[in-house]
Structure formats: C-alpha cells, structure tokens
Structure 1
Amino acid sequence: MELLQLQYFLAVARLEHMTEAARSLHVTQSSLSKTIQRLEEDLGAPLFDRTGRKLRLNEIGRRFLRRAEKALFELEQGKQEISDLTSPDHGTIELAVTNASTLPNILREFRKKHPHIQFHVQMLTTQEMITLLYRGEVDFCLSSPPIKGDEIECQIVYIDPIHVAVPMEHRLAERSSVSLKELKDEWFVGVKRGYRTRDLVDSVCHSAGFVLHYVYEGNEPARLSALVEAGIGIAFIPSTAMNSRENIKYLQVEDHELVREIALLWNKNRYISRAALEFREVVVDYFGTLSKN
C-alpha cells in the first residue's frame, strides 16, 4: 500500500465522483482509476459500489476511509511539526470564518509581528467549517455560533451586539433605539437562512409575534450595508460589521438582548505551531480591546 494510493482514495471517497476527483488532484481519470483499482487489489476487497459511471462508498470503503483519514492526518501533523522546528518564522496558517468583518484588522495586527507568515482564509458555511475542523484541515475557525464537540476546543472571544441599520432619510433615523414591534411593517435586507445572525433575528422576532419581510436575501453579509444605504431596506447588523463611514444610522434594540457569540475554534488533535499560538493571542487581544471600548 502506497501513500499516493491513500491520498487518491480520500479524494475519490469524499467526492464520490472520479472525474471531479481527478480534476482536484490534477491527474488523468485513467491514472486515478488504475490507482484506486490497485489499492482495492492490495486490500482484497472493493471499496466502492459502481453503477455505470456512478460511484458510492460501500461499507468496507466507509470503514477504511476513517482509518485512512486518521493515518494521513497524523502524517500531516508530523510534517507541520518538523516545519515548525526548522522554520518557525515561516509557514502558512489555515483559517476558516463564517463572517469576515473582523478579519482584516486581526490579520493586519498579526502581520506586524510576523511579516513572513502566510495565510489561507476560507469563508464557509457553518457545516462546511465543521467538516474541515473535524478533519483537522484548518488551524483555527472564527465562528458565530460557537461549536462544541469532543475533538473541538471552543473559546468565546466576544459578545457582539446586533443593531438595526437604517438609511439617514428613514423615519427612525433620528432615534438612538427602537423596539422590535416597531419594525414589524418594515422591509428588510438580510442573508439567507442558515447564517447565525439571520436565524437568531428571525427567532427573536417570531417570539415577539411577527415575521420579518425580506426584499433581499443573499450570502454576502458585507453587501447589506450598501443596500441599506441605498434605501432598499433596513437590516440587522452586528456591531463588528458596522461602518461609521457609511451614510447609515445604527439603532440599539430596546426590549431584547440581541447579541451573537463569536468563538475561536480548533481541533484538539491538530498540531498548533508557535505562529498559530501567537495568532490565537492576537485574536483574543483584539476582541478584548473591543470589549473595553
């Protein structure tokens, strides 16, 4: 059994599609098929059920996948540990976020201290992030909501108030706060269901006796401020995403404690480099400063 066979098997097992797996690995489909076939011959059992061009992991394949993921995970951890020992001031920190509003400031602060450390950042849905986290493929996740699990360390770093954003010409723009019931006839712009802020706001408003009316639902939280400023609708926006340079008034919610928790997550079994440990300190310090303001 060869390391290359395991790497190829993981790609095919996760995608369950030979063509897509070959594309992701930058190899020909015939080469990939032959490698998987040799692996099955070495193991003495088929790992996939094949129906025409369709490919599905069978029970043997699912069991082998768990073992293969653990084996490759440990090899990758060893590689990272050696890299940390030989080149502590270089390398790449793998990050995943559900919202990127605070990330530029955090990365800027870290880069001042470690100009040679690179970043690879992915903005993902919560479920996508959980998958990478359990696989140990990211150093840290910056997430709202917090996520807890046997293999996941979760540190809540900030309690983020959610405000109501209205354009300056709006009837509420002269106010500093507003009750939820005053908003029941308003038109809103927001992100799609599945995002933490959207689900939280919908739930709170439902408990207050009404359903929000959306004229826009998207998957780019940063776009909401521009839509509010253009008068398309009003929005619920966390304090960390507020921009004082925009022609928008932000109102506090009077009758409910409308907040989201921001957490830093990491896999307990993943090797944490010195640079990654210092990145965690920068994140904690950054949000600690926000809490004092």
Structure 2
Amino acid sequence: MELLQLHYFLAVARSEHVTEAARHLHVTQSSLSKTIQRLEEDLGVPLFDRVGRKLRLNDYGRRFLRRAERALFELEQGRVELRDLSGPDHGTLELGVTTAGILPNILREFRKKRPSIHFHVQMLTTQEMVTLLDRGEVDFCLSSPPITRDGIECQVVFVDPILLAVPKGHRLAGRSRVSLAELRDEWFVGVKKGFGTRDLMDEECRSVGFEPHYVYEGDEPARLTNLVEAGIGVAFVPSTARNPRAHVAYLYVETHLAVREIALLWHKSRYISQAAKDFREVVVDYFARLSGRTSS
C-alpha cells in the first residue's frame, strides 16, 4: 500500500466521482482509476460500488475511509510539527469562521504580534466547519453557535447580546429596552433560516405568541443595518455588529435568552504551533476586553 494510493482514495471517496477527483488532483482519470484498482487489489476487497460514471462507497470503503483519514491526519500533523520546529516564524494559519464581523479586529491584533505569519480564512457553515476540523485542515474556528462534538475542543470566548435595530425615526427609537410582545406587528429584515441569530430569535418570538413577518431574508448580515436605516424593517443583530455611524437606534431585548455564544474551536489531536497558540491568546484577550467594555 502506497501513500499516493491513500491520497487518491480520499479524493475519490469524498467526491464519489472520478472526473471531479481527477480534476482536483490534476491527474488523468485513467491514472486515478488504475491507482484505485491497485489499492483494492492490495486490500483484497472492492471499496466502491460502481453506478454508471458515479462511485459509491460500500461498507468496506466506509470502514477503510475512517482509518485512512486518521492515518493521513497523523502524518500531516507530523509535517506541521516539524515545519513549526524548523521555522517557527513562518507558515500559514488556517482559520474557519461562521461569524466574520469581529474578525478584522482580531486579525489586525494578531498581525501586530506575528507580522511574518500568513493566514487563510474560510467562511463556513457549521457542518463544513466540523468536517474540516475532523480532517485537521484548520487550526482554529470561530463559531456561533458553539459545537459540542467528540474530538473537538470548544472554548466559549464571548456571550454576545442580541439587540433590536430600528431606524432613528421609529416609534421605539427613543427607548433603551423593548419586550418581544411589542414587536408583534413589526416588519423584519433578517438573514435566512439556518443562521444562529435568526433561528434563536424566531423561536423566542414564537414563545410569546407570534411569528416574525420578514420582508427581506438574505445571507449577508452586514447588509441588515442599511435596510434598517432605509426604513425597510427592524432587525435582530448581535451587539458586536452595531454600526455607530448609521442612523439606527439599538435596543436591548427583555429576554435573558437573547444572546449568542461565540466559541473558539480546535481539534484535540491537531498539533498546535506557536503561531496558533499566539492566535488563541489574541482571541481570548480581545474578547476579554470586549466583555469589559460591554459590561461597563
């Protein structure tokens, strides 16, 4: 069994399509197919069921995939560790986020501390985040909501109040707090279902007897402030997403559940480089300062 065979097997197993896997690996379909066939011959069992031009992992393949991913994970961690020991002032930090509003401030602080370290950031769904963490392909993730799962460390770093944003001329604009029941007849702008803040506040509104009426649903949280400012509707937004320059008033919502938790995640078995440790320190310190400002 060769290391190349394992890499090729993982690519085909994840895509379940030879053409797509070959394109990803920059090899010919013929070469890829022959490599997979040799691996199956070495193992003595088929790993895939062939359905036309598609491949489906069979039970043998699913069992072998778990072992192959674990083996390649450990080899990759060894490479990362040696690279860190030989050149700790260089390298790239791999990051994943479900919430990006506060990321520029954190990255700016980290760059001051480690100017020679590069970083690569991906905006991910929760499931994509879990997948990359399991594969050891990211150093850290910033997620809201937190993820509880075997093999993943989860450190809640900030509890972010969810506020109601209203245009400056709105009937509630002069107040500091509002109850959910008072919002029954409001028009809302928000992100689509599946976003943590949206799902949480929809459930909270249902608990007091109404379903929020959305006139806009999108996938760009940063756009909501502009829509509120234009008078299109009101919006639930995390406190960290406040825009002090916008003609918008922010009110606290009178429910203790109107908060989102932001967590720092990493794989328990992933090698944590010195640069990654420094990044974690920057994140924790940043949110500690933010918590102090929020509570004062």
TM over 0.5: yes
Equivalent residue for 1:48? Answer: 48
Equivalent residue for 1:103? Answer: 103
Deviations 1:244-274 (A, max 9, x none): 1222111111244411111111110000000
Kindly report structure 1 stretches of 4+ aligned residues shifted beyond 6 Å.
none
Once residues 172 and 52 of structure 1 are traced to their aligned partners in structure 2, the CA distance between those partners, rounded to angstroms, is 61
Once residues 249 and 31 of structure 1 are traced to their aligned partners in structure 2, the CA distance between those partners, rounded to angstroms, is 62
Once residues 255 and 277 of structure 1 are traced to their aligned partners in structure 2, the CA distance between those partners, rounded to angstroms, is 36
Equivalent residue for 2:225? Answer: 225
Q: 1:271/1:292 Cα in 2 relative to 1: closer, same or farther (>3 Å)?
A: same
Deviations 1:65-120 (A, max 9, x none): 01100110000000000010011011111111111001000000000011111111
Between the two proteins, the alignment pairs up a number of residues equal to 293
C-alpha RMSD of the superposition: 1.2
Equivalent positions of 1:94-243 (< 5 A) are 94-243=94-243
Once residues 134 and 225 of structure 1 are traced to their aligned partners in structure 2, the CA distance between those partners, rounded to angstroms, is 35
Once residues 10 and 253 of structure 1 are traced to their aligned partners in structure 2, the CA distance between those partners, rounded to angstroms, is 48
Equivalent residue for 1:83? Answer: 83
Once residues 21 and 221 of structure 1 are traced to their aligned partners in structure 2, the CA distance between those partners, rounded to angstroms, is 34
Deviations 1:196-226 (A, max 9, x none): 1111101111111111111122222222222
Secondary structure of 2:244 counterpart = coil
1:99, 1:221 within 8 Å by CA — same for their partners in 2? Answer: no
Once residues 48 and 232 of structure 1 are traced to their aligned partners in structure 2, the CA distance between those partners, rounded to angstroms, is 53
> Which stretch has the larger CA shift, 125-134 or 158-167?
125-134
Once residues 7 and 137 of structure 1 are traced to their aligned partners in structure 2, the CA distance between those partners, rounded to angstroms, is 14
The percent of aligned pairs where both chains have the same amino acid is 75
Once residues 125 and 30 of structure 1 are traced to their aligned partners in structure 2, the CA distance between those partners, rounded to angstroms, is 34
What letter corresponds to residue 171 of structure 1 in structure 2? R
What letter corresponds to residue 51 of structure 2 in structure 1? T
Equivalent residue for 2:25? Answer: 25
Deviation of residue 132 (structure 1)? 1.3
Q: TM-score, normalised by structure 1?
A: 0.97
Once residues 4 and 24 of structure 1 are traced to their aligned partners in structure 2, the CA distance between those partners, rounded to angstroms, is 14
Once residues 29 and 247 of structure 2 are traced to their aligned partners in structure 1, the CA distance between those partners, rounded to angstroms, is 54
Deviation of residue 36 (structure 1)? 1.4
Secondary structure of 2:120 counterpart = strand
Deviations 1:164-191 (A, max 9, x none): 0112222222222211111111111111
Deviation of residue 27 (structure 1)? 2.2
What letter corresponds to residue 181 of structure 1 in structure 2? A
Once residues 27 and 193 of structure 1 are traced to their aligned partners in structure 2, the CA distance between those partners, rounded to angstroms, is 40
Q: 1:230/1:19 Cα in 2 relative to 1: closer, same or farther (>3 Å)?
A: farther
1:125, 1:195 within 8 Å by CA — same for their partners in 2? Answer: no
Once residues 169 and 28 of structure 1 are traced to their aligned partners in structure 2, the CA distance between those partners, rounded to angstroms, is 63
> Which stretch has the larger CA shift, 68-77 or 10-19?
10-19
Gaps of 5+ in 2: none
Secondary structure of 1:80 counterpart = helix
Once residues 287 and 241 of structure 2 are traced to their aligned partners in structure 1, the CA distance between those partners, rounded to angstroms, is 13
